[in-house]
Amino acid sequence: MPTQTSPHDTYTSPLAARNASPEMCKIWSPRHKFTTWRKIWLAVAQAQQACGLDITDQQINEMKANLEVTDEDMDTAAKYERDLRHDVMAHVHAYGDRCPTAKGIIHLGCTSQDVVCNGDRKAQLEAYILLAGKVRRTVLALGVFANKWKTSPTLGFTHYQPAQPMTVGRRAAGWAYELGLCLERFEEQLFHFQARGFRGATGTQASFHNLFEGNEQTIARFERQALQNLFDEPLDFDLTGQTYPRVVDTFILADLASIASVLHKIATDIRLLSNRKEIDEPFGKNQIGSSAMPYKRNPMKCERICGLTRFVMNLVGNAYDTAATQWLERTLDDSSNRRLSLPEAFLALDGALDLMHTVASGLVVNEAMVRKNLMLELPFMATENILMEAVKAGGDRQDLHEKIRVHSQEAGHRVKQEGLDNDLIDRLKADPAFSNISHMLTEDQILNPSNFIGRSVEQTERFLKEVVEPLKDRYKDELESLGSADRGV
């Protein structure tokens, strides 16, 4: 007696189960793909009818009535494929079973890639639109955070070593700006999105040339009409082989990887700042940080973002390899790879963007620690200003420089080797050479953090005004429809 298989006994992609949104999963689902194929066959038949082929309204209406692929259709196609070993022809037969009157004209003049490539491009377009909205939403969430904290000084870093201060909001604006740069390139792809077109087995349209008896104008009108039935304002590639140029997949995966790299950088920054106890990602009331260490509050969302985006970035090589190895007009070694690399990249980035939006919308700033860490380093950064003020008060520049150098080294040793507070300012106040400016060595004057942040506030405000606010106004309805999507797994 055969053992009944449970769904829990079968591998399921964690991207679908734990990360990607239901909307993105649907776009790449088998049912959506095969329903799109039926829409393509309908679009072809309608265009062929409009161009004079003997296709009846009854056949068209029958195809329209059976566009949605049912579970029974999926089972039927699976049975056909076991015999035919060809997924497109399996679905041609399954659709024909649903449409007996139209059966003889389904897929007329087409090669498999007239269906598969246009279907892939339609899925890619839908996925692009969904991701673009999520990138915009994340930019806006970071913008809200940047605006709230635009005047709050914090320690800057280069080489992960203390550097000139900035503000908490200015750093977040930098994150949003880099994501916005990726968005510009992403939207450019949307504006120039191209379908494969209907070109036949090697891209020469020989089958349609025969079908329309060599009438060039009719062939062009057929292709334009079929594409208009599928896409809004369709563009198509000027030349193709059997497939659309596989180098296009390198553009797609590179764009996804670019967004992924920025998300990885933002998440890493938050993880580093979390270690310094300056910023925390949102943390659930009952969330467990560690099974062994109850006190832990790990930045698990940012860690997941890094893991997912690293996966996306490493998929790009697949597209370059595939594009490089398409012999002459096409080989089939692209198919099995693309079935993995393209959908998985979109699903992984979709999940990472949802996570980043959740993080950006709930970031917690620990102001006391931000200030403590800044003030620990600020005396060192203030030494140039202290030197100038002391010289203006009548001191010798070279002599004062040497005294500050010695005091700084001793204060640094105290911090690093003894684990004590930075006492540089106390040392300078006690040195007679700085007695003329001792009254200025306070947080209200030379040591005021706001004196060291440059144009952080102005730069943040300009970014919000010129980038974030127009984005918010332009896509208000779309952004509201996206809502929030923390699946919490």
- Cα–Cα distance for residue pair 170/168, rounded to 1 Å: 6
Is 249 in the same domain as 265? yes
Strands 194-195 and 235-236: parallel
- Domains in the chain: how many in total? 3
Report how far Cα 14 is from the mean position of its chain's Cα atoms: 18
- Rounded to 10 deg, the angle between the 316-324 and 333-362 helix axes is 160
The answer to whether residue 290 is catalytic is: yes
Domain co-membership, 259 together with 405: no
Residue 486 pLDDT: 53
**Any domain includes 62:** yes
Q: Which one of 308, 334, 366 terminates a domain?
A: 366
Catalytic annotation present for 159: yes
What gap in Å lies between CA 343 and CA 331, rounded to an integer? 20
Residue in 159, 192, 291, 481 annotated catalytic? 159
Of 246, 275, 273, 359, residue with least CA distance to 309: 359
Per the structure, the complete domain to which residue 287 belongs is given by 113-194+245-366
Of 77, 108, 139, the last residue of a domain is 108
d(C-alpha 458, C-alpha 151), whole Å: 9
What is the pLDDT at residue 293?
A: 56
61 and 168 co-located in one domain: no
- Asked if residue 213 is part of any domain, the answer here is no
Q: What is the reported pLDDT for 444?
A: 79
What is the per-residue pLDDT for 488?
46
- For residue 207, give the nearest of 110, 112, 113 by alpha carbon: 110
Tens of pLDDT, residue by residue over 110-135, are 999 999 999 999 999 999 999 999 99
What are 201's two structure tokens?
Answer: 């087995």
**Cα-Cα end-to-end distance for the chain:** 37
d(Cα 358, Cα 353) in Å, to the nearest integer? 9
88 and 138 within one domain: no
pLDDT digits (tens, 9 = 90+) for 222-279: 999 999 999 887 888 999 999 999 999 999 999 999 999 999 999 999 999 999 999 9
What is the CATH number for 25?
1.10.275.10
If asked whether residues 387 and 317 sit together in one domain, one would say no
pLDDT tens, N- to C-terminus, the chain (489 residues)? 455 667 677 888 889 888 999 999 999 999 999 999 999 999 999 999 999 999 999 999 999 999 999 999 999 999 999 999 999 999 999 999 999 999 999 999 999 999 999 999 999 999 999 999 999 999 999 999 999 999 999 999 999 999 899 999 999 999 999 999 999 999 988 888 899 999 999 999 999 999 999 999 999 999 999 999 998 878 889 999 999 999 999 999 999 999 999 999 999 999 999 999 999 998 766 555 554 555 557 899 999 999 999 999 999 999 999 999 999 999 988 899 999 999 999 999 999 999 999 999 999 999 999 999 999 889 888 888 889 889 999 999 999 999 999 999 999 899 889 988 889 989 998 999 998 888 888 877 888 999 999 999 999 999 999 999 999 988 887 777 775 555 544
Q: Where are the alpha helices (DSSP H) in 149-289?
A: 168-191, 206-211, 216-230, 247-275
Residues 295 and 387 occupy one common structural domain: no
Q: Which two tokens stand for residue 425?
A: 């300012």
- Among the listed residues 21, 29, 274, 290, the single catalytic one is 290
Q: Does the residue 456 lie in any domain?
A: no
Are β-strands 364-365 and 235-236 bridged in parallel, bridged antiparallel, or unpaired? unpaired
pLDDT (0 to 100) of residue 446: 83
Do 310 and 184 reside in the same domain of the chain? yes
Give the DSSP letter of residue 15. I
Q: Does residue 280 sit in the same domain as residue 158?
A: yes
Strand pairing report for 364-365 and 279-280? antiparallel
**How far is residue 63's CA from residue 65's CA, in Å, rounded to a whole number?**
5
How confident is the model at residue 12, as a pLDDT? 83
Number of H helices, E strands in the chain: 21, 6
Task: Please check whether residue 62 is in contact with residue 69, taking contact to mean a CB–CB distance below 8 angstroms.
Answer: no
Is residue 298 domain-shared with residue 188, that is, in the same domain?
A: yes
User: What pLDDT does 127 receive?
Assistant: 96
**Same domain membership, residue 159 and residue 50:** no
Instruction: Tell whether the torsion through CA atoms of 237, 239, 244 and 248 is positive or negative.
Output: negative
102/119 same-domain check:
no
Whether residue 173 sits in one domain with residue 50: no
